């Protein structure tokens, strides 16, 4: 058996971080077993479609390094890979279910269904369809179809059956068919529901392992009943835990930072994002936190998949991204930061600055925070610079700093001399150098001070300090 996995997102908006999270596991398992990873677009919910969403999904996965073997653009032996192009296929198989009494036409109006639901709620019983249309006579069905009465097709779920499957992550899961609704398979607009389309597609595309989010566990019995109705082999199922916010709520589109594009636009490295998402759902057998996708593929096993709800921590991701940035060459970082720069800056100066800030950068979009005072004279908050010492003492410190730098140059020897001066005059070392730092950069936290001044040059440093003395 050739392993085939798939990801099947709906093109209803920006590509979700949860889609990438699931894709990593589908992709890794297929590649570990020399199999295929398929991207299928589930676009049967026509009301929620967003123009450009499909190509956005494809490009986002490509950016992240998760490359399908088959998709709507690449094509493949088992296409089409858009559900909207497979309507004839669905109608054929759903009609087969009707002919074999595993499905039936339902002509109930919205008003009747609403009334049924309200009555069930009042009676505190499970809200599900009451099979009212199951036993309609053939001539009545034909008459309704001929007259064009709106209708759907429902799955005929038989009561009293046990539905059991072995989840590769969670072990045996059992449902009673009594709690499974007669799910709609074909909507009144002629489009299949998710439940019908996903089973038909997965079978025809020879998907062997369905790795998806835990929210689909409750739908699995419906899918298994469909596989059995068709007489098809049932694939393996594995349900990943959903990503959670710190308050344990589901990471959803209404919250921030759920779009893959957001991470790209903020300057996260795709390999760092992939690494972090893997850590959320799986633990490395050697306890490692930093490792490439290729290592995950070689080491992956379902028994190390996290069964709890992993908490998505943006600060942890930033930390990991910073580690990856530190592993890059200056030329690589220069290429990554250029799209984020708000300033025109020559390559040599940019390289010098990157050498200083590489250990501090967490995401590339922060680069301007470290570059702005190299390009523009800072707007100094005088309250900050006189916070620890009277204004006259601040002037003395700054004048002595200029004299030392002019006499000895911007060197670590000058730094040593300034440190000796501070100690001799009983100045707190941190407060002493903070005055100089703020005068030159306008910030309380910067790259190393001497190296920063060396990039600015003695003339610029002198001018900035003199401006503060004048103020």
Q: What are the start-end ranges of the E strands in 36-188?
A: 36-39, 103-106, 152-155, 162-167, 171-176, 184-186
Quick one: tokens of 248?
Answer: 């344990």
CB 237 within 8 A of CB 167: yes
Give the count of beta carbons closer than 10 Å to the beta carbon of residue 223. Answer: 23
Give buried/exposed letters for 159-171 (b at 16+ CB in 10 A, else e): eeeebebebbbbe
Rg, the chain, Cα only: 32
Q: 236: which strand partners?
A: 209
Q: Which residues contact 333 (CB under 8 A, 6 or more apart)?
A: 325, 354, 358, 361, 364
Quick one: tokens of 382?
Answer: 């005088």
Nearest to 29 by CA among 63, 5, 8, 2: 5
As separate numbers, helices (DSSP H) first and strands (DSSP E) second, the chain gives: 20, 9
Quick one: tokens of 32?
Answer: 């570990």
Distance CA 308, CA 248 (A): 11
Find the catalytic residue in 158, 176, 253, 335.
253
- Does the annotation mark 334 as catalytic? no
Distance CA 25, CA 11 (A): 20
Nearest to 26 by CA among 291, 308, 311, 281: 281
Burial label for 190, CB within 10 Å (0-12, 13-18, 19+), is exposed
Quick one: tokens of 287?
Answer: 């306890």
Peptide bond into 422 cis (omega under 30): no
Residues with a known catalytic role: 253
């Amino acid at each position: 058996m050739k392993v085939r996995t798939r990801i099947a997102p709906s093109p209803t908006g920006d590509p979700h971080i949860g889609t990438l999270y699931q894709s990593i596991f589908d992709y890794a398992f297929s590649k570990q077993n020399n199999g295929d990873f398929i991207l299928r677009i589930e676009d049967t919910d026509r009301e929620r479609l967003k123009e450009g969403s499909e190509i956005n999904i494809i490009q986002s996965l490509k950016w992240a390094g998760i490359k399908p073997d088959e998709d709507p653009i690449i094509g493949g032996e088992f296409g089409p890979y858009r559900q909207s192009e497979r309507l004839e296929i669905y109608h054929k198989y759903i009609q087969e279910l009707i002919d074999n009494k595993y499905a039936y036409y339902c002509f109930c109006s919205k008003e009747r269904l609403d009334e049924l639901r309200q009555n069930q709620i009042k009676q505190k019983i499970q809200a599900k369809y009451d099979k009212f249309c199951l036993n309609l006579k053939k001539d009545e069905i034909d008459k309704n179809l001929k007259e064009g009465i709106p209708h759907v097709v429902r799955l005929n779920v038989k009561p009293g059956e046990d539905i059991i499957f072995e989840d590769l992550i969670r072990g045996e899961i059992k449902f009673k068919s009594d709690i499974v609704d007669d799910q709609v398979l074909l909507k009144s607009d002629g489009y299949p529901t998710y439940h019908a389309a996903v089973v038909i597609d997965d079978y025809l595309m020879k998907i062997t392992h369905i790795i998806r989010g835990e929210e689909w566990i409750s739908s699995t019995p419906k899918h298994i009943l469909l596989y059995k109705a068709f007489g098809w082999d049932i694939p393996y199922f594995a349900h990943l835990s959903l990503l959670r916010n710190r308050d344990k709520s589901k990471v959803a589109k209404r919250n921030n930072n759920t779009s893959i594009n957001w991470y790209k636009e903020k300057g996260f490295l795709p390999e760092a994002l992939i690494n972090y998402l893997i850590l959320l759902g799986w633990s490395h057998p050697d306890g490692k936190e930093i490792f490439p996708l290729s290592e995950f593929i070689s080491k992956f096993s379902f028994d190390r998949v996290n069964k709890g709800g992993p908490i998505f921590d943006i600060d942890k991701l930033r930390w990991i991204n910073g580690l990856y940035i530190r592993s890059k060459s200056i030329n690589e970082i220069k290429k990554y930061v250029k799209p984020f720069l708000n300033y025109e800056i020559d390559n040599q100066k940019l390289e010098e600055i990157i050498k200083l800030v590489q250990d501090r950068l967490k995401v590339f979009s922060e680069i301007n925070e470290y570059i702005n005072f190299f390009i523009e004279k800072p707007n100094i908050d005088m309250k900050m610079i006189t916070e620890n010492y009277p204004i006259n003492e601040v002037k003395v410190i700054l004048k002595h700093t200029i004299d030392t730098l002019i006499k000895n140059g911007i060197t670590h020897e000058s730094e040593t001399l300034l440190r000796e001066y501070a100690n001799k005059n009983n100045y707190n070392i941190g407060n002493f150098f903070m005055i100089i730092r703020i005068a030159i950069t306008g910030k309380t936290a910067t790259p190393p001070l001497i190296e920063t001044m060396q990039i600015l040059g003695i003339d610029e440093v002198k001018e900035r300090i003199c401006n503060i003395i004048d103020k």
